Amino acid sequence: MERSKLEDHLRRCHPYKIDKDLKYFQILKDKVQKRPGLDKMFASTSQRDEDEPATLLAGQLLAAQSKPLAVTPVNDPLDY
């Protein structure tokens, strides 16, 4: 973000933090970056490439064992 827009945002949205020094914002930035994100919460997403063939095989087996959909005609109330 541009410096002028960042300063404007600070003035408008966080006026109580204007007097804070640079070290406060650096610590805040470090805390935010160290928080777990979605990628860390779902560690299994990194293992997806290894598990994909097994998942694909399981899906194919389920599809082969399931019955095909039967489309039955519905009585149309306007059809006399």
Domain boundaries, the chain: 1-37
Residue 22 pLDDT exceeds 70: yes
Residue type for position 26 = Q
- Any idea what the Cα angle at residue 36 is, between residues 32 and 40, rounded to 5°? 145
Residue pLDDT, tens place only, 51-70: 567 777 777 777 777 766 66
Question: Does pTM top 0.75 for this prediction?
Answer: no
For the four alpha carbons of 38, 41, 46 and 52, in that order, the dihedral sign comes to negative
Q: What is the pLDDT of residue 11?
A: 93
**Mean pLDDT score, 23-43:** 83
Q: What is the pLDDT of residue 27?
A: 95
Pair of tokens at residue 79: 């059809």
Q: What is the pLDDT of residue 29?
A: 92
Q: What is the pLDDT of residue 37?
A: 78
Half-sphere exposure for 80 (CA within 13 Å, toward CB): 0
